């Protein structure tokens, strides 16, 4: 359906009202967190103060406290390392698989593609127990590398499915022309199809990376020492020390991650929807 424009005044009012309502409902918690982040303790913990107004001047001390006196930066570093490693592994495995499914396997390709996608639906809450035991057996318990090994279990299915759609959108002619021009099929694909599917590949990279940031249960189950924790696990466990909650720092820790990730998603959203529908429609 092409983007409709509300043509009646009533329609316009309804549209804007709904848009604003949803925006507020979605964004309020983040607003709240952002406000809290900069509040001095005396301001924050005084129940007589209007929570939406900073009665005392804003302060960055909680943020610096977070960055200097907690393992937060280590958490972020861990996420970056894990994310990068998982992206590499995922691309290395799912790009060839996606090409094989898109071009080389015919009707079987459709079926296997669906089967691979179904593995994405196997919930982590089913697998985390046996995996935690396997991780211990291999000796990777309490290490970020345990996560690097396990995460591709869900990033590969999703990436393969998305990439199938993107690769199919490159015209078949181009591959065949490259073969006639003198390359083997594999070389032809690497030299012509992949460069042309690059926007799709980048989208998949971004999505895989952000997926690794989302996981909670595996990180919680496999890692217990704070130096190896990811942001997801570290913030609710380490930064909440016993009964003492450093709320401003906690809020900062959430906002610092939330905003860049949301920006990234927003930029790539259009492509993601494209890949989603391409994957669903028979090439």
Partner 1 sequence: MAVVETKSLHKKFGAVAAVDGIDLETEEGEYLVLLGPSGCGKTTLLRLIAGLEHPSDGDVLIGGQVVTHLPPRARQIAMVFQSYALYPHKTVFANIAFPLAAAGVPKDERPDKVRWAAGRLGIDKLLDRRPRQLSGGERQRVALARALVREPQVFLLDEPLSNLDAKLRSAARDELKEFQQRVAITTIYVTHDQVEAMGLGDRIAVLNEGRVQQIGSPNEIYHHPANTFVATFVGSPPMNLLTRDGKLLGFRPEQFLPVAAVGERPGQVVFDFAVTRVENLGSDRYVYGHLPAVDPEAKVIAKLPSTVTTPVYVGDRVPFAVGGGDLRYFDQQSGARTDAGEAKVTP
Partner 2 sequence: MTVAQRSADEIALGPRRERFLLDSDRLLGPALLAPAVVYLLLVVAYPLVLAFLYAFSDVTTGSQSLHFVGFQTFIAAVQDPVFLTTLRNTFVFTALTQLFVVLFSTVLAFVLTANFRGRWFVRFLVLMPWTTPVALSAVIWLWMLDSIFSPFDWFAQLLGIVPPGGHIVFLGQSGLAMGSIIALQVWRVLPLATVILMAGLTAIPADVSDAAEVDGAGFWRRLFGITLPLLSPVMTVALLFGIVFTFTDMAAVFVLTGGGPGNATQVLASWAFYKGINGGNLSVGAADALIMFPVLLGLAAILLRIASRAEVN
- Site membership for partner 1, residue 177 (CB under 8 A): yes
State whether the Cα torsion 134-138-143-149 is positive or negative: negative
The DSSP letter of residue 242 is T
Selected from 17, 184, 225, 277, the binder of partner 1 by CB under 8 A is 184
180 is an interface residue for partner 1 by CB under 8 A: yes
For the CB of residue 14, give the shortest distance to partner 1 in the complex, in Å. 42
192 binds, among partner 1, partner 2, none (CB under 5 to 8 A by kind): partner 1
Backbone angles phi and psi of 244, in degrees to 5? -95, 120
Listed in sequence order, the residues at least 6 apart from 276 whose beta carbon sits closer than 8 Å to its beta carbon are: 162, 165
Terminal Cα distance for the chain, rounded: 21
Q: What's the rounded Cα separation, in Å, for the pair 25 and 5?
A: 23
Choose from partner 1, partner 2, none: what does 138 bind? Cβ within 5-8 Å by kind: none
Q: Helix, strand, or coil here: 261?
A: helix
Nearest distance from C-beta of residue 202 to partner 2, angstroms: 17
Kindly state whether residue 127 participates in binding partner 2, applying the rule CB under 8 A.
yes
- Shortest approach of partner 2 to residue 175 CB, angstroms? 12
**DSSP per residue, 56-74:** S----HHHHHHHHHSTHHH
Q: Is 97 in the site for partner 2 (CB under 8 A)?
A: yes
CB of 242 to partner 2, least distance (A): 14
- Segment interacting with partner 2 (CB under 8 A) among 57-65, 133-141, 169-177, 195-203: 133-141
Q: Segment 58-87, which members bind partner 2 (CB under 8 A)?
A: none
| Contact criterion met (CB below 8 Å) for 88 and 201 | no
Question: Is 177 in contact with 193 (CB distance < 8 Å)?
Answer: no
Minimum gap (Å) between residue 106 Cβ and partner 1: 11
Minimum CB separation of residue 113 from partner 2 in Å reads: 10
The stretch near partner 2 (CB under 8 A) out of 53-61, 65-73, 165-173, 232-240 is 232-240
d(CA 94, CA 98): 6
Residue 247 sits in the site that holds partner 2 (CB under 8 A)? yes
Dihedral sign, Cα of residue 166, residue 172, residue 177, residue 182: positive
Return residues touching partner 1 (CB under 8 A). Answer: 171, 173-174, 176-185, 187, 192, 195-196
């Amino acid at each position: 359906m092409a983007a409709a424009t509300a043509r009646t005044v009533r329609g316009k009012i309804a549209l804007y009202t709904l848009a604003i309502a949803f925006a507020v409902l979605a964004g309020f918690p983040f607003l709240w967190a952002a406000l809290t982040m900069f509040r001095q303790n005396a301001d924050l913990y005084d129940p007589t103060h209007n929570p939406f107004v900073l009665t005392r001047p804003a302060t960055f001390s909680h943020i610096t406290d977070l960055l200097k006196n907690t393992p937060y930066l280590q958490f972020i570093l861990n996420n970056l390392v894990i994310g990068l490693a998982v992206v590499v592994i995922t691309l290395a495995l799912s790009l060839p698989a996606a090409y094989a499914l898109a071009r080389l396997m015919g009707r079987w390709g459709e079926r296997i593609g669906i089967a691979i996608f179904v593995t994405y639906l196997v919930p982590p809450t089913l697998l985390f127990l046996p995996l935690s035991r396997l991780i211990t057996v291999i000796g990777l318990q309490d290490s970020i590398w345990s996560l690097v090994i396990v995460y591709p279990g869900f990033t590969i299915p999703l990436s393969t499915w998305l990439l199938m759609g993107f690769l199919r959108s490159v015209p078949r002619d181009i591959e065949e022309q490259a073969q006639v021009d003198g390359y083997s099929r594999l070389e032809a694909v690497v030299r012509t199809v992949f460069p042309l599917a690059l926007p799709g590949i980048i989208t998949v990279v971004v999505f895989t990376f952000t997926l690794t940031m989302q996981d909670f249960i595996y990180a919680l189950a496999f890692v217990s020492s704070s130096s190896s924790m990811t942001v997801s696990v570290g913030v609710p466990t380490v930064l909440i020390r016993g009964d003492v909650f450093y709320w401003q720092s906690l809020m900062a820790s959430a906002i610092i991650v939330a905003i860049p990730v949301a920006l990234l998603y927003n930029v790539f959203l259009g492509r993601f929807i494209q890949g989603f529908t391409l994957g669903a429609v028979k090439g």
